[in-house]
Amino acid sequence: MSSSAPSKLWGGRFSGATDPLMEKFNESIHFDRRMFKADIVGSQAYVKALCKQSILTSDEAATLHQGLDQVRQEWEQDRFEIKSGDEDIHTANERRLGELVGAVAGKLHTGRSRNDQVATDMRLWLRDAARELVTFTRDLVRVTMERAAAEVDIIMPGYTHLQRAQPIRWSHFLLSYAWVWQQDTERLEQLIERFNLLPLGSGALAGNPFCVDRELLASELGFRGVIQNSLVAVSDRDFVSEFLFWASLTMVHVSRFAEDLIIYSSSEFGYVTLADAYSTGSSLMPQKKNPDSLELLRGKAGRVFGQMSGFLMTVKGLPSTYNKDLQEDKEPMFDAYDTLHGSLQILTRVIATLTVYPERTKASLSPDMLATDLAEYLVRKGVPFRETHHISGAAVRMAEERKTTLADLTLTDLQSLHPAFAADVAAVFNYERSIDNRASIGGTSRQAVLAQIDSLKQWLGAE
C-alpha cells in the first residue's frame, strides 16, 4: 500500500500509488476551502445527531465539538496548514481534527458520505452568500429610488429602437431599473427559500444506516425541512443552476443599465457624467474620460452567463446519482457570487455619485416627440384614435416638407388636416404637460412617479 493511501478517506480499497498529476487533477481544496465554516458547522450538527443515536458518548461529542471549534479558529485566523493528501475541505478538516483530538475523530464520519456532506456544505454556503447579495440588491434599489426622488423634476427623451419617442421624467427612467432590481431581489429570496432543504443524513446515496434524526439536523442547521429522497439529496444541483441563472439575469439587467449610461455619458448625448472614482483616462488622448466601470459591468455579464451555460453542459447528461463531474459545480457558483458581490456594489456607487445635466436632457426634446399628444388632442375632441393617428402623421409629414417643426405649424395648417383643431391646440406643445398627462399607475407623471417611489419605500421598509 502506498504511504499516502491511509490518509485518504477512500484509500482502504487501493494498493497502488496515485499518479501525482492525478492527485492534483482530483483535488479541490484550492477552491472549496472557502466552505470551511459550512463544513465545520455541518459536522458539529452531525456530532449531535450521532450522540443522540448513542454512536458517540456525550464526552466524545464534546471533544469533537471543541476540536472542530479549534479547526474553525485556525481557518479564521489564517493558521490552517494544508498538507499533502488534503484533497478537499472535508478531508482537510477531518485530518486536522484527528491531529487535535486523536482517534475519536474517526467516529465523525460514521454513516456520512462526502456526497451528502458536500451537498450540505454547498447549500449552507450559498444560503449565506445569497443572503448577502440580497442586501446588495436592496441597497441598489434604495439608492436608485432615492436618486429618482431627488431629481423628479428632470425631464428627458424616452427611447424606443434607440430613437427619441416620447418625453419622460429622468426619475421614471431610473425607477424602471429599480423595479427590475426589486424583482431580482425577490427572485433570489424565493430561491433561498426553495433550496433551503437538508441533504445530510442521506449517506452516499441510499440513506443513513444509523437512522440519524434528520429533522434534528435540519433544525440545528436552519433548514426548513429535509430532502425526502436520498438519491436526490446527494446529486441535486438544481439550486446551483438556478443561482447561476439568477446571477446571469441580474447581470443582464446591470449590463443593460450600464449600456444606457454609457450612451448617455457620450459627448453626443451629454446627459450624465460619471464620478472620477469610476472612470479612467486614455494612455494616449488626454481629453478622454472613459466609463470603464460601466464597460466592466457590461463585460462581466458575459462571464456570468458563460459560467451558467458551462455548468448546464456539465450536468445535462449525468447518470444518477453522484458523479465526480459534480466537482465542477463549485467554481461557477463561487465565481458568480464574487462577480455579483463586486458588480452590485460598484453599480450602486456609480448611481449614487454620477452627475446628470437637466439642461442637456431637456434640450434633446423636440416637438415631433409630441405627435402622439397631437393625436390624443383630437381624441378628446371625439375623433377616433385610428383616424387621429393618420392625421397627426400627416402633420409630421407637412412639417418635414416645410423644413419646420411640428409646433411651428399654424392653426390654419392643422385645420387643413381636420376641422376639429382649435386655438387650444397650442397647449399640446408643452413637454411637462405631455408628461403629466401620463398619470395612470406606472406612468411618467409626477404623481405616478411619486407613487412608484412610495411603493418602493414600503417594500424596502417591509423587511
Which class in CATH covers the domain with range 367-461? mainly alpha
Residue 320: per-residue pLDDT: 94
CATH 1.20.200.10: which residues of the chain? 115-363
Closest C-alpha to 430, from 365, 364, 358:
365
DSSP 3-state of 384: coil
β-strands 155-160, 355-356 pairing = unpaired
Residue 25: per-residue pLDDT: 78
Q: Given the residues 54, 161, 267, 283, select the one marked as catalytic.
A: 161
Closest C-alpha to 201, from 42, 9, 89:
42
Residue 272: per-residue pLDDT: 97
For the chain (463 residues), the mean pLDDT of every run of 10, in chain order, is 44 62 83 97 98 98 98 98 94 98 97 97 98 98 98 98 97 98 98 98 97 98 98 98 98 98 96 92 63 96 97 96 95 98 98 98 97 96 95 96 96 96 97 97 98 98 79
Residue 462: per-residue pLDDT: 80
Answer whether 336's CB lies under 8 Å from 304's CB.
Answer: yes
Residue 280: per-residue pLDDT: 76
Residue 5: per-residue pLDDT: 39
Dihedrals phi, psi of 168, to nearest 5 degrees: -140, 175
Q: Given the residues 282, 309, 320, 440, select the one marked as catalytic.
A: 282
CATH 1.10.40.30: which residues of the chain? 367-461
Residue 27: per-residue pLDDT: 87
Determine the Cα–Cα distance for residues 103 and 165; give it in Å rounded to an integer: 75
Number of C-alpha atoms within 13 angstroms, CB side, residue 218? Answer: 15
Residue 463: per-residue pLDDT: 64
CATH 1.10.275.10: which residues of the chain? 5-110
Q: Is 293 a catalytic site residue?
A: no
Q: Is 7 a catalytic site residue?
A: no
Answer whether 425's CB lies under 8 Å from 411's CB.
Answer: yes
Residue 3: per-residue pLDDT: 37
CATH topology classification for 5-110: Fumarase C; Chain B, domain 1 (1.10.275)
Residue 353: per-residue pLDDT: 97
Determine the Cα–Cα distance for residues 196 and 120; give it in Å rounded to an integer: 10
Closest C-alpha to 120, from 32, 7, 28:
32
Residue 281: per-residue pLDDT: 62
User: 101 is written with which cell numbers?
Assistant: 483530538
Residue 28, CA distances (Å) to 22, 91, 185 in order? 12, 10, 31
**What is the Cα Rg of the chain in Å?**
31
Residue 6: per-residue pLDDT: 42
Number of C-alpha atoms within 13 angstroms, CB side, residue 305? Answer: 13
The correct CATH number of 115-363 out of 3.30.465.10, 1.10.8.60, 1.20.200.10, 3.40.50.300 is: 1.20.200.10
Supply the DSSP symbol for 109: T
